[in-house]
Chain A
Amino acid sequence: MAEEEQGITLTDEQKKKRRSRSIAIAVALGALVALFYVVTIVKLGPSVMDRAL
């Protein structure tokens, strides 16, 4: 593992906290993607769907 190569060993507690932080970061990034998607629709309006094929 990369951590062992760097000479750092995480404790179980650190691993548990890291996992919960990773999930929180994933949720935040997902929310950001959804936010930009919704705002794009809001700014462009219904015409975003109206384009020549």
Chain B
Amino acid sequence: MSLVERQDTISQDSSVWDGGMGSVGDYVALLKPRVMSLVIFTAFVGLMLAPGSVHPVLGAVAILCIAIGAGASGALNMWYDADIDRIMSRTRNRPIPTGKVTGDEALAFGITLSIGSVVTLGLLVNWFAGAFLAFTIFFYVIVYTMWLKRSTPQNIVIGGAAGAFPPMVGWASVTGSVSLESFVLFLIIFMWTPPHFWALALFKSVDYRAAGVPMLPVVAGETSTRHHILVYSLLLAPIGVAPYLLGFAGPVYGVAAVLLGLAFVALAADVWRKRDGDVARLACVRLFKYSIFYLFMLFALLLGESLVAGV
């Protein structure tokens, strides 16, 4: 928070302080619980698929640290983006724009949890996983939030890596290393992120334009965004099948991944075809919602197969 903004938060009556109004629930909201749930799930799948074993308590500690680290990234993201969050309808009810938590409080909260989660993961599980978590937080806060988000329409393509690292961190918690298999898990989320967010950006482009965020529909136009969504969907579908092709997922996953991928491409083609009016908006909403289901199903199937194989 700059000095000028800081001065704005100080009331004319110097004995009255407008901070300290955040409830526990407001601080939980800073952690972006919905994003955190996806991180927990994908990290857990990475941890379960990794070769070797980890004590259940240490596994739970690893997932907890990854979740807290992801939440800390969310808090730091909200601290930095408070100015544009005030403008967009999707984000204006967050704790900082509503004045429940001050920017300084969110910053202190985010930094404390970042350091705490990394150190705890390093001390209790292994330092490779701890360092990887630190890099993930760095990537999301510094590379994506502070650098890419406001400077390039490719923001979520590159920045999406931050959301794709959790299964690799989960894997590293068991093995202390990375491997081709964990990289494939990363690649699935990495390729999934652009069509997922661009579908959202297409029906929220007014918000992004008002906030001055150079999302692809704002900078390159909606037609170009539809081309991009289709191309990324065509790339994503075969990558979704890769775990089966590389031998670390079974035939049930293989068949399901093909069918789920085809449906993804069909919905992306629908977005590409329908350019105007409510039908176009509906196609975007359907792809956005389906993309969440798609990613959940791929990872749920990987998890299910690994559990069945382990019985």
Instruction: Please list the residues of chain A having a beta carbon within 8 angstroms of any beta carbon in chain B.
Output: 7-11, 13-14, 17-18, 20-21, 24, 32, 35-36, 38-39, 42
Partner of A39 from B14, B21, B27, B61 at Cβ < 8 Å: B61
Distance between Cα atoms of A7 and B11 in the complex (Å):
12
Contact indicator A21/B27 (Cβ below 8 Å): yes
With an 8 A cutoff between CB atoms, is B23 at the interface?
yes
Please name all residues of chain B whose beta carbon is closer than 8 Å to the beta carbon of A11 when the two chains form the complex. Answer: 16
Is B17 an interface residue, CB under 8 A from the partner?
yes
B20, A18: Cβ atoms closer than 8 Å? yes
- Within the complex, the shortest CB–CB distance from B71 to chain A, in Å, comes to 12
**Is A7 within 8 A of B15, CB to CB?**
yes
A17 neighbours in B (Cβ, 8 Å): 20-23
Q: Say whether B55 faces chain A, with CB atoms less than 8 Å apart.
A: yes
Give me 12 A-to-B residue pairs in the complex whose CB atoms sit less than 8 angstroms apart, sorted by A's number: A9-B15, A9-B17, A14-B20, A17-B21, A17-B23, A18-B20, A21-B22, A21-B23, A32-B120, A36-B124, A39-B61, A39-B124
Known: A8-B15, A8-B17, A36-B124. A42 touches B24 (CB 8 A): no
The verdict on B58 contacting chain A, using a C-beta distance below 8 Å, is: yes
Q: Interface size (B, Cβ < 8 Å)? A: 16
Give the chain A neighbours of B3 by CB distance below 8 A.
none
- A20: nearest residue on chain B (CB-CB)? B24
Does B20 contact A10, Cβ atoms closer than 8 Å? yes
Q: Cα distance A36–B65 when bound, in Å?
A: 13
Residue in A8, A9, A13, A42 whose beta carbon sits within 8 Å of that of B21 in the complex: A13
Contact A42 to B57, CB < 8 A, known contacts A7-B14, A10-B17 = yes
Q: A42 is contacted by which of B20, B23, B58 (Cβ under 8 Å)?
A: B58
Which interface residue of B20, B23, B27, B55 has the most chain A CB atoms within 10 A?
B20
Q: Would A42 and B55 be within 8 Å (CB), given that A17-B22, A18-B20, A21-B27 are in contact?
A: yes
CB <8 Å contact, A35 and B61: yes
CA distance A42 to B309 in the complex (A): 26
